[in-house]
Amino acid sequence: MTIASKLEHYLQQQEVEYQVVTHPHSEYSMETAEKAHVHGDALAKGVLVKDDDGYLLVVLPADYHIELESLHRLLGQEVAMVDEATLEEIFSDCELGAVPPIGMAYGVKTIWDPKSSLGKQDEVFFEAGDHQSLVQMSGVQFHELMAPAERGEFSHHI
């Protein structure tokens, strides 16, 4: 697999310029950054959570952690991580754990932390839907893609 079909379709609809870069197989975001020779603060990751309203894709850099309490205060409700079965259901065209951070392509409400390092990158990378491919695009294009997403401060650098 090079790029998930729903993601590819969405990027084409949005007329985004991007390229797909490959890397050795990896299991988690910081390993992906290392194997792809990409700085962790330029690799966007998506983490799916559930709140009272449904599912929410939280987007932050690979070298950041979600502050669940900050997210709770921001949303005004509790959030919880989802199980693997839910990930497989929503991101059915992706390998388990290779979630693209573009929730809009999957009809999932999205929130990102633009004050994190992702808001300052010339180039941004993210999972293409498998554990060996990344989408690479300009930081400007990434900002444009994230325009419909909610914004808030809910993460910190590790």
Check residue 73 and give its pLDDT.
95
Check residue 76 and give its pLDDT.
95
Check residue 33 and give its pLDDT.
95
Residue 79 in tokens: 């959030």
| C-alpha torsion 139→141→147→150, nearest 10 | -40
- CA angle at 64 for the pair 62 and 67, rounded to the nearest 5°: 135
Q: Going residue by residue through the chain, which has 158 residues, state the pLDDT in tens, using 9 for 90 and above.
A: 589 999 999 999 999 999 999 999 999 999 999 999 999 999 999 999 999 999 999 999 999 999 999 999 999 999 999 999 999 999 999 999 999 999 999 999 999 988 888 888 999 999 999 999 999 999 999 999 999 999 999 999 98
Ordered alpha helix ranges (H), the chain: 5-13, 29-36, 68-75, 84-90, 139-145
Specify which residues 110 forms β-bridges with. 57
In the numeric block, the tokens 């990409």 are attached to 38
- CA angle at 105 for the pair 45 and 32, rounded to the nearest 5°: 25
Check residue 105 and give its pLDDT.
97
Answer yes or no: are the C-beta atoms of 154 and 70 closer than 8 Å. yes
Specify which residues 64 forms β-bridges with. 157
5-157 CATH choice from 3.60.20.10, 3.90.960.10, 3.40.50.970, 3.20.20.80: 3.90.960.10
- Tell me the C-alpha distance between 4 and 98, whole Å: 10
Specify which residues 20 forms β-bridges with. 135
| Three-class secondary structure of residue 70 per DSSP | helix
- Tell me the C-alpha distance between 94 and 148, whole Å: 22
